[in-house]
């Protein structure tokens, strides 16, 4: 994993954890969370995040 890939992965994981916290608090719907996840995957293109996203 290159440094650029590592930073993209880290940024994705931070952003998706915030979205997940909002979902758990009821501040986002499941549909909104799915849209956010899709947008974050497109923006950051994380190697591991893509694998983990498919498992959710």
Quickly list H helices, the chain. Answer: 3-24, 30-44, 47-55
The pLDDT value given to residue 48: 76
Residue-wise over 26-52: b if at least 16 C-beta within 10 A, else e?
eebeeeebeebbeebbeebebeebeee
Quote the pLDDT of residue 28: 98
pLDDT at 54: 47
Do 12 and 42 form a contact (C-beta atoms < 8 A)?
Answer: no
pLDDT digits (tens, 9 = 90+) for 7-56: 999 999 999 999 999 999 999 999 999 999 999 999 999 987 655 554 45
Report CA 38 to chain centroid distance, whole Å: 8
Overall pTM > 0.85: no
């Amino acid at each position: 994993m290159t440094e650029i890939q590592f930073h993209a992965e880290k940024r994705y994981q931070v952003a998706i954890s915030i979205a997940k916290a909002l979902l758990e608090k009821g501040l986002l719907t499941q549909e909104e969370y799915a849209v956010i996840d899709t947008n974050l995957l497109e923006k950051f293109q994380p190697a591991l995040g893509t694998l983990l996203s498919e498992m959710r």
